[in-house]
Amino acid sequence: MLYSKKIKLSAALVMMTFSFTPTVYAKEKESALQPGGETIQVELKEWMINLDKNEVKSGVVTFQVANRGVENHEFVVIKSDMKHGNLPTVAGKVDEAVAGELIGEIEDFAPQGFYKASFTLAPGQYVLICNIVEKEPGGGLESHYHQGMHRAFKVLP
C-alpha cells in the first residue's frame, strides 16, 4: 500500500513538472485559445521566425509556436505600420509601446517548447518579433531582434 502511494505521488510530481506553460499575455484579456479562425504555424530558431502563411483574414488567429532553436525565445505580436526591421529600440530591446499596438505575446520559453495563443486581429500590418535581450559574458548585449528575429505579417479584411 505504501509503495502504491509513492508511485501515485511520483506520477503527480511528473505531471506537475511537465504541465508548465509560459505566460500568454492578451491585450483584450482573451482566453489563451479561442475557437474558430485561422491557424498559423510558427517556428522560432536562431535568428529567424518562419511562418507557414504570411497573411490571413481578420478575426481570431491562433499562432502555434515551436521553439526549434537552442536558446530561449519569445513571440510578440505588434500591430504596426513600421517596417519590421526598423522598429525603435532601447538597449537592444524593441520599445513595444512606441513600435505600435501591442496585441499580445508568449513570453520567454525554452528550446523545444511548443505553445499556442489566439488573438483577435483587425485588418492591417503586423510585426512578429522575439524581444529577448541577453547579456553576453564579455558584457555586450545580444538582441534577438537585432540578430534577425522579426517578421512582417498582414491581416486582410
Domains in the chain: ranges and CATH:
22-156 (2.60.40.420)
pTM for the predicted model, two decimal places: 0.79
pLDDT tens for the 157 residues of the chain, in order: 444 444 444 444 333 333 334 445 444 333 456 667 899 999 999 999 999 999 999 999 999 999 999 999 999 999 999 999 999 999 999 999 999 999 999 999 999 999 999 999 999 999 999 999 999 888 899 999 999 999 999 999 9
DSSP string, 70-112: SS-EEEEEEE-SS-TT---EETTEE-HHHHSEEEEEEEEE-TT
Nearest to 130 by CA among 82, 79, 74: 74
